[in-house]
């Protein structure tokens, strides 16, 4: 029986992972520097190849939003390299002693961080995922198998080949970074079966992609579903600040997971604030949909139905609901939210505390834009995704989150009585 | 449409979890103390009920090993209470600031530990799981839904009712601890569908139970599969110590997950050590099965076939293999082991380091019995299980491991540029 090519790749990654786990910090950081250098040296080819794939995508009638995500320009390219360099500067996520003690009988026990092993990244269009993911995986001593979208296959392959050359030059194993070059869905199907070799899969893309992968594999999947983000404006919020936070949360970018989808306004300040909010959102071409109470205060507003509270618009639409106090706001968020990012605008320390404690979300923002949740402001340097799961990792997935740990016990002939 | 009784229980737990997450440390610790007191006050009834269920189990022809696991005697009972008191003394697993910083723009960010939410524990026979699991869950601010085996249903129900009374007396919500009283498989089937309310399931029992649960639910499952544990005796090991560790690892208890299943002996010390090992294991009535090389040195030994290396005997049988050096030992362990607990006997610091680094297991023991891996010696106080997964928790599952975290950002009108 012939081994399937994908199984060969998975086996190679598993072997590389064992060697990577033993690669010292200096070697992994050198590899990241050399990966950036190697990418710099193929910049012209990458931009040329990317331009060809953009033409092809347009020829095939792809949506302009997708073409935009596919595009690498000078600025994107520099940003990709700077992220590799930045991740190199982060503290080593490996070999951290997480806890430890010596038992009265002299048995020394500690728990230390180690790589997960082999990480599979399945993603759509954005070629910067190729370099971001490889960087975070190498930093954390993990082998990575990349599988980007077919529309960017040639660009991603060029990027990966350069990074492999850089990594090998630094002394890392050849298969520390691999990319699946075979086009078509069959390769992904095979990849999902590789639970003997792959420790975790991180799909990046639309909800349907993530669902399909999570349901089609026994490999643990770090999932990113909806970002149904809320801002609750409490009665005592600074009005100017609250409006600015609401507008920034919604308008700074509408197609992203930490953009605002539902605004909750306290009934005690609704009459004062809603007209200001309507004006501000109007200037930004955002369509407001309101609950019945909101409609009373803003006549002519489209209604928000039950479905709206469940919807991640990813579009210039915002649902608005008037709530009676913080309890109702928290109940609404925990019921309709997706546990991604939810914020409050308030001047009350007590309310901030209550919101922080009772809102069951990966990120809780106090008087700050929901758009600030993420690896950058959280100091993670670079991330391979965002988790809406609660187990293992919640929120941004950086190098620390791609580690597990082992317990080590040093005895001198210690036995169990 | 009527709501299924299991769904009512799950919903109640979800609501209780929200209140529990806000219960201060003092209240949770008081609850643990009061739970122990309440159990003490029903001790006579518990032992009586347990005795009846033991008679019933024997009448139904249950295996004696199962009856033994079912039994609560004075000593077991005291041990159950002492574990509740011990877990109360542990540091609070909640509200730990795991990382934090203030950005140059003044945005203050931190990551703090919070409960997972609702934990479902599905287990067989041992009634001490009832109190251990409830203790660890309450300590970590999680609501718990217990589902024990039908053979211990009445004993478990008595234990649970006492614990609920104690917890409520301390101010915790009534549904912080619940037990599923309905007999039969249908209840478990329903429980597996409660992914809207339950955050994680921890099955405790045989491999088939765990597999059935993991494959039948969308709820994340903390799994404990095989414990195929190894000891590698290096050429330079202290012979007396190595034999003692091997014997203790295998014989101290054979039916447990961290008992030795395969002994790897370095070819350079095999001729010296194997006869000593044979004598020692013979005295403990352990059947040895050897590789071809072992058979040459110990004529008459039964052969160990390929299957043996894959087998968790949980019985007085031990497979023995001669290996050429530490590399072969590590390769064998990573190939055939289950990543549970693996040890080395050596006097070489370099070999200890290499083994620690390259063996991909939850627990690595250096000159210590494999039987020492676990919550007790690791200082976890009390555990609800052991994980052979790599994500979220690896090895013993104590209070810290039943937490997740959230990111909190405090701003003063901070926006994204």
- Measured between alpha carbons, how far is A384 from A284 in angstroms, rounded to an integer? 31
Cβ-defined contact of B352 to A410 (cutoff 8 Å):
yes
Q: Where are the extended beta strands (E) located within B205-348?
A: 229-233, 260-266, 287-290, 302-303, 317-323, 341-345
Nearest to A413 among B199, B245, B390 (CB): B245
- Measured between alpha carbons, how far is A129 from B27 in angstroms, rounded to an integer? 46
Residue written as tokens 């199984």? A7
DSSP A150: G
As a whole number, mean pLDDT of residues A239-263 equals 97
Phi and psi at residue B104, in whole multiples of 5°? -50, -30
Q: Looking at the predicted complex, does its ipTM rise above 0.85? A: yes
At A26, list the tokens.
């200096």
- Measured between alpha carbons, how far is A106 from A102 in angstroms, rounded to an integer? 6
- Find chain B residues with C-beta within 8 A of A415's C-beta: 244-245, 248, 252, 368-369, 371-372
3-state secondary structure at position A37: helix
Tens of pLDDT, residue by residue over A26-66, are 999 999 999 999 999 999 999 999 999 999 999 999 988 88
- Measured between alpha carbons, how far is A240 from A247 in angstroms, rounded to an integer? 11
Is any Cβ of chain B less than 8 angstroms from the Cβ of A106? Answer: no
Cβ-defined contact of B412 to A241 (cutoff 8 Å):
yes
Nearest to B413 among A117, A245, A413 (CB): A245
* Diameter of chain A measured on Cα atoms: 80
Q: Which residue of A has its CA nearest to B197?
A: A335
SS3 content of chain B, % helix, strand, coil (to 5): 45, 20, 30
Nearest to A372 among B107, B334, B360 (CB): B107
Above 60 in pLDDT, residue A1? no
Residues 6+ away with beta carbon under 8 Å from A34:
A166, A167, A169, A170
The whole-number pLDDT of residue A349 equals 97
The whole-number pLDDT of residue B2 equals 67
What domains are there in chain A, each with its CATH number?
5-223+395-410 (3.40.605.10), 229-372 (3.40.309.10)
The whole-number pLDDT of residue A2 equals 67
Is any Cβ of chain A less than 8 angstroms from the Cβ of B363? Answer: yes
The whole-number pLDDT of residue B162 equals 98
* Tens digits of pLDDT across chain B (417 residues): 567 899 999 999 999 999 999 999 999 999 999 999 999 999 999 999 999 999 999 999 998 888 998 999 999 999 999 999 999 999 999 999 999 999 999 999 999 999 999 999 999 878 999 999 999 999 999 999 999 999 999 999 999 999 999 999 999 999 999 999 988 889 999 999 999 999 999 999 888 889 999 999 999 999 988 899 999 999 999 999 999 999 999 999 998 999 999 999 999 999 999 999 999 999 999 999 999 999 999 999 999 999 999 999 999 999 999 999 999 999 999 999 999 999 999 999 999 999 999 999 999 999 999 999 998 889 887 899 899 999 999 999 999 999 999 999 999 999 999
Chain B from 12 to 41: CB within 8 A of any A CB = 18, 21-22
Cβ-defined contact of B410 to A368 (cutoff 8 Å):
yes
Q: How far is residue B78 from each of residues A146, A411, B379, measured CA to CA in Å?
A: 54, 30, 20
Phi and psi at residue B363, in whole multiples of 5°? -130, 130
As a whole number, mean pLDDT of residues A79-93 equals 95
Is any Cβ of chain A less than 8 angstroms from the Cβ of B79? Answer: no
As a whole number, mean pLDDT of residues A382-400 equals 93
Above 90 in pLDDT, residue A200? yes
Above 90 in pLDDT, residue A185? no
Tens of pLDDT, residue by residue over A289-314, are 999 999 999 999 999 999 999 999 99
Q: How far is residue B204 from each of residues B20, B125, B170, B214, B381, measured CA to CA in Å?
A: 24, 10, 29, 12, 18
Is any Cβ of chain A less than 8 angstroms from the Cβ of B211? Answer: no
Cβ-defined contact of A406 to B220 (cutoff 8 Å):
no
Structural element, H or E, at residue B11: helix B5-21
Is any Cβ of chain A less than 8 angstroms from the Cβ of B349? Answer: no
Cβ-defined contact of B415 to A390 (cutoff 8 Å):
no
Residue B101: half-sphere exposure toward Cβ, Cα within 13 Å: 9
User: Torsion angle of alpha carbons B386, B388, B392, B396, nearest 10°?
Assistant: 20
Residues 6+ away with beta carbon under 8 Å from A308:
A262, A289, A319
Q: How many residues does chain A have?
A: 417
As a whole number, mean pLDDT of residues A124-140 equals 94
Is any Cβ of chain B less than 8 angstroms from the Cβ of A183? Answer: no
Chain B from 233 to 292: CB within 8 A of any A CB = 238, 241, 244-245, 248, 252
* Of A67, A342, A388, residue with least CA distance to A211: A388
- Find chain A residues with C-beta within 8 A of B408's C-beta: 356, 363-364, 366
């Amino acid at each position: 029986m012939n081994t399937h090519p994908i199984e060969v790749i998975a086996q190679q990654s598993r072997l590389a992972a064992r060697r990577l786990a033993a690669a010292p910090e200096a070697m992994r950081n050198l590899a990241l520097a050399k990966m950036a250098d190697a990418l710099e040296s193929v910049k012209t080819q990458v931009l040329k190849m990317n331009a060809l794939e953009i033409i092809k995508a347009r020829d095939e009638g792809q949506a302009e939003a997708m073409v935009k995500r596919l595009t690498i320009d000078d600025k994107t390219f520099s940003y990709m390299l700077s992220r590799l360099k930045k991740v190199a500067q982060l503290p080593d996520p490996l070999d951290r002693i997480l806890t430890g003690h010596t038992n009265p009988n002299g048995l020394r026990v500690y728990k230390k961080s180690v790589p997960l092993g082999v990480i599979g990244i399945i993603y759509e269009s954005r070629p910067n995922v190729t370099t971001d993911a490889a960087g975070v995986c190498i930093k954390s001593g993990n082998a990575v198998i990349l599988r980007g979208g077919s529309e960017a296959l040639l660009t991603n392959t060029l990027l990966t080949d350069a990074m492999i050359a850089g990594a090998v030059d630094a002394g890392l194993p050849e298969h520390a970074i691999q990319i699946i070059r075979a086009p078509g869905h069959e390769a992904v199907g095979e990849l999902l079966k590789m639970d003997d070799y792959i420790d975790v899969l991180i799909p990046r893309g639309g909800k349907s992609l993530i669902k399909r992968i999570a349901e089609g594999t026994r490999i643990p999947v770090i999932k990113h579903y909806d970002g149904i983000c809320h801002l609750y404006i409490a009665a005592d919020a600074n009005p100017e600040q609250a409006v600015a936070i609401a507008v920034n949360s919604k308008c700074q970018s509408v197609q992203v997971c930490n953009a605002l989808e539902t605004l909750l306004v306290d009934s005690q300040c609704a009459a004062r604030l809603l007209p200001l909010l309507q004006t501000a959102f109007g200037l930004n071409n955002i369509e407001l949909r309101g609950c019945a109470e909101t409609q009373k205060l803003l006549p002519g507003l489209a209604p928000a139905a039950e479905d709206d509270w469940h919807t991640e618009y990813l579009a210039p639409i915002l649902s608005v609901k008037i709530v009676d106090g913080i309890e109702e706001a928290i109940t609404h968020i925990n019921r309709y939210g997706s546990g991604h990012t939810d914020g409050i605008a308030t001047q009350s320390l007590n309310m901030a505390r209550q919101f922080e404690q009772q809102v069951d979300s990966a990120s809780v923002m106090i008087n700050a834009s929901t758009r600030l949740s993420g690896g950058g402001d959280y100091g993670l340097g670079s991330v391979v995704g965002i988790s809406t799961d609660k187990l293992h990792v919640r929120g941004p997935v950086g190098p620390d989150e791609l580690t597990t740990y082992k317990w080590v016990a040093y005895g001198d002939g210690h036995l169990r009585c």
